[in-house]
Structure 1
């Protein structure tokens, strides 16, 4: 049973709240101790994403000398999904807002406090959204700046310092020395090979067609496989003999 003094104070506060929130307040339990909700709109001011909070309040038997029971929740909306720079209140945010309202209520003990709690909730929620939105914008801008710097770095060569130049020159000189040493070694091997072969090139030691012919008479016989019907076979040895005879005759004339 609620004391008459507390019942009167609670009833008077509900009447005042109904005049302040004619459409936002809804009575859930009209008997003392009363229970009701207040809809709190966080409006879009081009800086934050709009949302709607619902503050549910239930008086205790000794309110306002004790805190009322209350709960904060987000009401569903039909807005499109948020962009990457539109912040929303999370469950953690709601817990933090609840703690903030509890502190505010304790400061107002002994007085009607629901109006102060509802206005405090709107201010704190708006501030949280502003801070979260600013952080999202900062992160996006930092990402864009990083991408710009990465693109610009593609067109900027590595800065040359005295130390980096000396390091490059030492490496270049070493590679050049190794290359020249390799060329000198290859040239020495070539000279040695030519000295062993009597100074003649490989192509100079190739056999002539006649020498091949004289060393392997089967080359002439192998051509017989290409003789068609009716062709006359030629004995290559006759040409060798005749050639020998011509050579001998030429010698005798001299």
Structure 2
């Protein structure tokens, strides 16, 4: 017996296709209109950015030149004393300059750490060596007096600074970081110092109240694990 096709099935198959609603012309979005920029617009934008850059550089340079004498920042190989450089460019006789944040005396430049820049003796030395230099080596009464006088201008209360002098071998043979032994004619220990066989590193004690009576004997031996400030020494940057 053949299969029967019901009326409902025939009606469904042969019925009219569903009519898709036509989009109303009123609901169509108008095409976007592209506005053409004037030909001078890119040039004007570039000029404005260039002008803004020049103004920012001028402000930065002004701040550096106006405050470099008061700035004591951690130096780098690329930071150079701006006043010295400008004098060099003007044809003056400066053939060597200290880096920004360092102070010049004779043939050396010195960096006095400040703020939170404190560490034990070994790490303080590594901080100096990391910049290509080392802890200060005091060779004369003139150098000793300069360091003391300049350090006094930086403090408001007593402060210790590491110098490059230690007796790490523990043989009572104090030696500088450049491997030279302590010269008896250029040592400036406080009275009774060095006094403790357990204290093998030297600091320069700077008093905020001591009157300037050179030469001040202000070296003291302390434990190498203590964390005072430090003084680095470097040679000036040479220009040819």
Structure with the largest fraction of helix: 1
Which of the five TM-score ranges fits, normalised by the shorter chain? under 0.3
Normalised to the residue count of structure 2, the TM-score between the two structures is 0.18
Q: Which has the higher contact order (CA 8 A, sep 6+)?
A: 2
Normalised to the residue count of structure 1, the TM-score between the two structures is 0.17
Structure with the largest fraction of strand: 2
